[in-house]
Amino acid sequence: MTMTDAATPANTVLGKRRLRKEDPALLTGEAKYTNDLNIPGALHLAVLRSPYAHARILSVDVSAALAMPGVVAAYSGADLVPLWAGPMPCAWPVTADMKNPAHSPLAVAKAAYVGDGVACVLATSDAAARDALEAIDVAYEPLPAVVDLEDALSDRVVIHDELGTNKSYTWDLKCEGAEGQVDRAFAEAAYTVSEHYVHQRLIPMAMEPRAVAAVPQPFGGDITLYSSTQVPHILKVMTAITLGIPEHQLRVVAPTVGGGFGAKLNVYAEELLCTALARKHKVPVRWNEERTENTQATIHGRAQRQHIELAADADGKLTAVRVRLLADMGAYLQLVTPGIPILGAFLYAGVYDLPVAYDFSCTSVFTTLTPTDAYRGAGRPEATYAIERAMDALASKIGIDPLELRKRNFIRKEQFPYLAFSGLTYDSGDHELAADKACELADYTGLRARQQAQNVEGATKRLGIGISSYFEMCGLAPSRVLASLNYSAGGWEAATVRVLPTNKIQVVTGTAPHGQGHETAWSMIVAEKMGVDPDDVDVLHSDTAIAPLGLDTYGSRSLPVGGVAVAMACDKVIDKAKKIAAHQLEANEDDLEFVAGSFSVKGSPDKAMPLAAIAFEAFTAHNLPDGLEPNLEAQVTYDPPNFSWPFGTHICVVEVDTETGDVEVLTYVAVDDCGNQVNPLIVDGQVHGGVVQGLAQALYEEAVFDEDGQPKATNLAEYLVPAASDVPSITLGHTITPSPTNPLGVKGIGEAGTIGAAPAVINAIVDALSGLGVTDMPMPASPQTVWKTIQSAQGAMK
């Protein structure tokens, strides 16, 4: 692994590799996850789930379950209807005519996927509750499953009777001035490609499945909801609305959360069930998800069919992009389900300079499968995959090196800030630099020579080189842009910085870390700004009573929005401290400078006052300037003026065993540019994990269902999450193009690795096999799939 240290010389903390302060508690088992909480007297909830993908619920008989030892209550979906003040929330009605089926925490009339909750039990132990599920008698009338997207679109079987159709919506991206341009560009093109790709369904599979505990205060009326969630703030608002609880009586806490990857950016049935039943029974109610349950009852990701067409002139310069998506919503719309394909809508031209000729349309349908929603990258890996695979197809059509084609089309450095066809402004970038750096690290020229020597006629071990250059649109998001996309919330983030009397600093953040390392990173930002040691900074988060304002963690937003808010709050505190310093030093504010945690009069360094002294003055308030409030604390709510636009180039080198179809990744180079880095160690970790997740989509993972909608990958033996021994050593490189959008110059890095990886891997496999007539490779490229693809390509060549 190569490490590039991104430290800016002027900084003392920012940009330096620093171990994470979160890790000792996590590594020693001291950290408390939701299921570790000791909650005396809690009842355990277990949910009976439909074994059918699609079935009418004729009757539910819980009487035998009620007679089981330890069982306190058992309910059918119909029994609980009075508890719901509103439907399960979907916060993203992407079009005015979007169809959204009725969805309640337990199904009442119909089960619409395997895993859909139909009844539940409360018992004195988890084991007793789960045993009792077996005694519930549900009479089902099985109905035909709808698994295939085209089949869904045909309305052969309509899943939600009240909608009359399986189509949820069609969303078009209307680019000003594009009218007629696209057709003209295709008519006049020297080269065109028309490619079809499938993004298989993926299971996010956080190491910690979900867990919930709702603890009521029967006589005070308040209730605390603990949940393994990425979105305590959103969950609080939505739970209050859905259950009709006065919002001020609800507190949401996310204890240590063992990964989310977007799957915990949601409001789930079990959160609502625990809260409602805890209120009803006036005792705590908790639920812990099993692994198999997690593969069915927690959202899935991706699940799209893509048709992308590119038009190019004689030099290979792109002249138009046309995209048609068919997206699988699953059985219901969860919190942001319909918006996921839309998050990718702007990126199907990738890092390339494209005139206004862009035509995007997405149609989304219901199936009788687990609902889909956000999964690491959410829409953007899909977009990047399509354009980067199609660029390879175009290069092969033109007969030039895929790297050369990319270079001819990159948005050039001097074109930034770049106003894109979509009306969005890409604030910064240097794609050529990132690509050059990746090529240098991978020895691209050497590899091509090696490949020529190795992939001779009859060779059974074939070398392939895949490139993927990506643009990522993250740091969600400018609230006004979200408004234009019909998203029902803003994109701001809040931070409070509080200097305690003894000069220790508390940061309150609205972000909700679940593995990312915000405590370390926010401490470093504060340390740099305030001249204190990062260990003297405490970061408070993920509890709506402590951090009441926030919009949580997803969409690689935490640093470019939440971290920036922290930095801005520091500036506000420093401004206030300066007033106190000026007052105490009897100097003019303009004559003061703040260096290494101390204010001094420019030119006379002995006239100085350290922050520690000011903090104490602010606390005692004995001698403050007239009109200045005591205490040293500031709050900032920051609404970003633009997205953040990280980018990079990944190169994957594979060797394919054509006899068995086995793919070995020999080299993986990732050059990512996330602007200024707060902690390069965390950046590397995010890229490692992200790359592995993309590689997992390319090679291993798939939520397989049979034609009856029965899930076939329901545990970690069947759903192939790669382990450390299955992934290559990743060579990392970075370029640094600071974001001009925010004062820290930072961009998100949480999803970039995943976005870049899958197309790099598949491009490499197709490249390895191009001599055998292979032009595409479905994901996951399992050995069997690779072998079959070679067989049919060979058959076609004969």
Partner 1 sequence: MIPAAFDYVRAESAEHAISLIGQHGEDAKFIAGGHSLLPMMKLRMAQPSVLVDIGRLADLSYIRDAGDHIAIGALTRHMDVEKSSILAEHVPLLAHAASHVGDPQVRHRGTIGGSIAHSDSASDLPATTLALGATYIAQGPNGTREIAAADFFQGFFTTSLEPDEMLTEIRVPKMNGAGWSFQKFNRRAQDWAIVGVAAWRRGNDSGVGLVNMGSTPVLATSVASAISSGASVADAAELAAADADPQKDLNASVEYRVHLAKVLVRRALEESSK
Residues that bind partner 1 (CB under 8 A): 126-127, 130-131, 290-292, 659-660, 662, 700, 704, 712-713, 715, 717-718, 720, 722-723, 725-726, 782-784, 787-788
Cβ nearer to partner 1, comparing 290 with 432? 290
Cβ nearer to partner 1, comparing 79 with 662? 662
Q: How far is the CB of 388 from partner 1 (least distance, A)?
A: 24
Pure H helices in 177-325: 181-188, 232-243, 269-281, 291-297
Q: How far is the CB of 127 from partner 1 (least distance, A)?
A: 5
17 burial level (CB within 10 Å; 0-12, 13-18, 19+): middle
Cis, peptide link before residue 477, omega less than 30° from 0: yes
Q: How far is the CB of 780 from partner 1 (least distance, A)?
A: 9
Cβ nearer to partner 1, comparing 209 with 748? 209
Q: How far is the CB of 769 from partner 1 (least distance, A)?
A: 17
Cβ nearer to partner 1, comparing 51 with 548? 51
Cβ nearer to partner 1, comparing 108 with 713? 713
Nearest C-alpha neighbor of 389 from the set 306, 328, 324:
306
CB 675 within 8 A of CB 739: yes
Distance CA 435, CA 300 (A): 32
3-state helix, strand, coil in the chain (%, to 5): 30, 25, 40
Nearest C-alpha neighbor of 123 from the set 359, 238, 283, 297:
283
- Whether the CA torsion 673, 780, 341, 774 is positive or negative: it is positive
Q: How far is the CB of 384 from partner 1 (least distance, A)?
A: 25
Distance CA 62, CA 133 (A): 9
Q: How far is the CB of 270 from partner 1 (least distance, A)?
A: 16
Q: How far is the CB of 699 from partner 1 (least distance, A)?
A: 8
Strand partners, 794: none
Pure H helices in 410-546: 431-442, 444-454, 479-484, 518-530
Cβ nearer to partner 1, comparing 133 with 441? 133
Query: Taking CA 189 as the corner, what is the angle to CA 185 and CA 194, rounded to the nearest 5 degrees?
Result: 90
Cβ nearer to partner 1, comparing 288 with 742? 288
Cβ nearer to partner 1, comparing 315 with 664? 664
Q: How far is the CB of 717 from partner 1 (least distance, A)?
A: 7
Q: How far is the CB of 429 from partner 1 (least distance, A)?
A: 37
Strand 318-330, strand 358-366: pairing = parallel
CA gyration radius, the chain: 28
Distance CA 740, CA 746 (A): 9
Q: How far is the CB of 69 from partner 1 (least distance, A)?
A: 10
Q: How far is the CB of 726 from partner 1 (least distance, A)?
A: 5
Cβ nearer to partner 1, comparing 100 with 228? 228
Distance CA 726, CA 780 (A): 15
* Count of CA atoms in the C-beta half-sphere (13 A) of 423: 9
Distance CA 388, CA 333 (A): 29
Distance CA 790, CA 786 (A): 6
Torsion of CA 201, 203, 204, 205, to 10 degrees: -170
Strand 223-227, strand 211-216: pairing = antiparallel
Distance CA 703, CA 708 (A): 14
Cβ nearer to partner 1, comparing 418 with 787? 787
Q: How far is the CB of 712 from partner 1 (least distance, A)?
A: 6
- Whether the CA torsion 343, 348, 350, 355 is positive or negative: it is negative
Pure H helices in 399-501: 402-409, 431-442, 444-454, 479-484
Distance CA 374, CA 341 (A): 9
Cβ neighbour number for residue 761 with a 10 Å cutoff: 31
Q: How far is the CB of 290 from partner 1 (least distance, A)?
A: 4
Helix H or strand E segment including 507? strand 505-509
Cβ nearer to partner 1, comparing 32 with 712? 712
Cβ nearer to partner 1, comparing 304 with 782? 782
End-to-end CA distance of the chain: 44
Cβ nearer to partner 1, comparing 289 with 684? 289
Cβ nearer to partner 1, comparing 143 with 713? 713
Q: How far is the CB of 47 from partner 1 (least distance, A)?
A: 14
